[in-house]
Amino acid sequence: MSLVSIYRELKKSIVAFIPTYTFFRGESPPKSEFPPIIGTGFIVHEDGLIATNAHVARCFEKMIMPKEAPKEERPVRVLLLIPTDEGMVEMFLDVLGIFVPTKFTSGKFYYGPKEGPDLALVQVKVKGLAPVVLDGSTPIEEGSEIGTAGFPMGTDMLTAPGWLHQITPTVQKGIVAAVHPFFSSTPHSYSINVMVQGGASGSPIFACDTGKVIGMISSAVYNRLPLGEKISYRVPTNISHAIPSHYIINFMKHILKDYPDRLSTEVETLDQIFKNNEKIVITPGEGHPGTVRKVESETEKERISKVLKIDGID
């Protein structure tokens, strides 16, 4: 299989997490060509399960909701992009549940963090999705060619020239740089020689020879350089950390076992939603019909300031 053919199929499973509402100050909302991206995820089960990082999921609860919002509404939605002849169609998927491991049991030869992997599963209100093929059994070896795809730099990447010029995830290629703490059948993590930025957290990592997903981007490795006597700044490197797929597979097994009724909720398939609902086609130069709300109180202004300073949104 070629990287071209592998990615052609894989990108059907990549999603972005976006706020349900965006806020503005002033008399009229500014033109927005694309919603702000919180992080990346990828579909792991056709009945609506999406894998991402726990630190991405923890940012969801920090998103702002207007006072009049329905109680059952979540502060984030999942954005799936579908190419058509007219342009890229945006599919907004409602979030039903968020699963983050609260108890982690490790084996005798586990050397990772005590709290376990930076992993979460998000359930959306749709069936008939296109899941990736997870591979948690093939040994991860240094030097293996891998690819990854997601939304590095979030919306900034898509609007880099000052206008919306990209309406797709970004794919990159590299190799497995190191297995942590050393080569084994169940490493707690590994690193790849791909530079990632905020927005790429939760991106799938796939083997270039099979297309199977062997892990997920979890964090970048930074080098801290001095700027004066007391100030330093972080510089990204070409090394990033990843979570092996065997953790995703095991966690998903628990969810499917413990919440079978929840996952079998009567909801439409993606094809039914695509057929029966008005399609939102986004093309460069067009404004985005996102849901915006004017900031009405000092409390909302304070919360907005805190959200903009969240370090975990990457």
User: Residue 87 belongs to a domain with what CATH number?
Assistant: 2.40.10.120
Decide if pLDDT at 60 tops 50.
Answer: yes
* Any domain includes 221: yes
The arithmetic mean of pLDDT across residues 225-236, rounded, is 82
Q: What is the pLDDT of residue 28?
A: 61
* Any domain includes 243: yes
Q: How many CB atoms lie within 10 A of CB 265?
A: 13
- What mean pLDDT value characterizes the chain? 85
Q: How many CB atoms lie within 10 A of CB 133?
A: 14
Give the whole-angstrom CA distance, residue 133 versus residue 279.
28
Q: What is the pLDDT of residue 312?
A: 34
Report which listed range, 57-66, 110-119, 248-257, 270-279, is most confident: 248-257
* Any domain includes 95: yes
Count of domains for the chain: 1
Instruction: Please state, for a pLDDT cut of 70, what percent of the chain lies above it.
Output: 85
pTM: 0.88
Give the whole-angstrom CA distance, residue 237 versus residue 193.
9
Residue 229 belongs to domain spanning: 3-308
* Any domain includes 167: yes
pLDDT digits (tens, 9 = 90+) for 67-84: 777 888 888 999 999 988
* Any domain includes 313: no
* Any domain includes 110: yes
* Any domain includes 106: yes
* Any domain includes 184: yes
